[in-house]
Amino acid sequence: MRNGIWTDFSDDDQYLDDDDMSLYQAQDAVCLYASSRGILQLFSEKDLFYIKKSYNLTSDSFNSDPDIAIMYIEREIKALTELKHPTVIQMIGYSTNIIDPNIKVDLATGGSLMEVLIAEDKGVQISGWDTTQKFIVMYGIARALSFITDKEYIYRDLKPDNILLDHDLRPLLSDFDSAKKFEYKKKPLTGIGTTEYCAPEQLQSLISNDVYYGNEATVYSFGAVIYSLFTLLRPYYHRISEEVPECNQVKASQILSKELNPPKFDDDFIYPELQDFTENLLSWDPAERLGIQDLHEIIYEIAWNIDELDSDRFDKYVNYLNFYEQTPESIPLDGTPENLKIAESRQCPLALRCASLISEGLAGTCPNISD
């Protein structure tokens, strides 16, 4: 370890290409997700389940450039070290080994928001997943964005896949390799996010060197997430559970040319205040959007006007955030056997899969999670 952070490498360093990824998968670990960019593996250690996120340094996602991959790794390690908050996934270790660069994070036993929305769209009943919990997710992410902004970070890839849920279906923001310290009027270098959840100016910055974007773009992405949360639609024209062929995926050019209509709620949407709020966040002109620091307070006000809101549960979550914001060193980890069992009983897709793998003895062990 070089003081816990990447430094320059010598010419003798060896990197793995996409075809060699299997070489650095632990033989006794479970690979939950894999792509050319890297892999996510499930491990257990002393009654704690956690995720090991390994990077492929020469992936096409990093332009086959290890230096770019290293920049992403450094960025995520730095962000997770600085951003201790009850709405942010907790890092429990990382390794700077040249063969297997990785970050180890707590297992969010409820899985991703995207997985839960897909399950809902397919008619799967997840215990506790209702209007109140959706407002809790909204409110928690808004609090996360306010905290991140206070720390002078900009989060550039907000989407349902990057919002994780714990055993009580409370939100945890993850994947900070695209987050960076905000520099006034400096165009971000790489990693603009996911097209259908990106603000127009964020997409335009790909084309023109004189187009800059800031937290207003994150506000737009937040609006797109809320739209998916309550409509079970992707921001343009696909259902959340629909497999979208690559040839039909939303293109930046289609958005910027307004070939595709911006996301709109149906006329019979039953929460008019939430609709007006979300449509403001989705304004084409970033100057018309609400400020990122105001979002959680407005959501709080809207929530208390919802008749079916479980006010006790919502208020309990607000108090939970208030307490752990003041005592971040005591934020509990979610990846315990007890919490996994609760998420499994709720029918959360990831918890069901993990429980099945663990029962078969397939979860790997790693002796040094604080490398």
Are 162 and 222 within 8 A, CB to CB? Answer: no
Sign of the CA dihedral with 211 first, then 193, 277, and 258 last: positive
* Boundaries of every domain in the chain: 29-108+344-360, 111-330
pLDDT tens for 102-122 read 899 999 999 999 999 999 999
Q: What pLDDT shows up at residue 6?
A: 26
Sign of the CA dihedral with 216 first, then 218, 224, and 227 last: negative
pLDDT tens for 200-223 read 988 888 777 667 788 999 999 999
Are 169 and 346 within 8 A, CB to CB? Answer: yes
Q: Which tokens hold the place of 369? A: 């999670």
Report field, pTM of the whole predicted structure over 0.85? yes
The pLDDT of residue 88 is above 90: yes
Q: Round to whole Å and give the CA distance between 102 and 360.
A: 25
Q: What pLDDT shows up at residue 99?
A: 75
- CATH superfamily for domain 29-108+344-360: Phosphorylase Kinase; domain 1 (3.30.200.20)
| DSSP string for residues in 276-343 | HHHHHHT-SSGGGSPPTTTHHHHHHHHHTT-TT--HHHHHHHHHHHHHHHH-GGGPPPS-SHHHHHHH
Q: Give the β-pairing of 180-181 and 153-154.
A: antiparallel
Q: Round to whole Å and give the CA distance between 153 and 182.
A: 5
Helices (H) and strands (E) in the chain, counts: 11, 11
The pLDDT of residue 248 is above 70: no
Q: Round to whole Å and give the CA distance between 234 and 245.
A: 14
Q: Round to whole Å and give the CA distance between 116 and 122.
A: 10
Q: Round to whole Å and give the CA distance between 19 and 218.
A: 35
Average pLDDT over residues 216-239: 94
Element housing 30 (H / E): strand 30-35
**CATH architecture of the domain covering 111-330:** Orthogonal Bundle (1.10)
Q: Which amino acid is at 350?
A: L
Q: Which tokens hold the place of 190? A: 């790489």
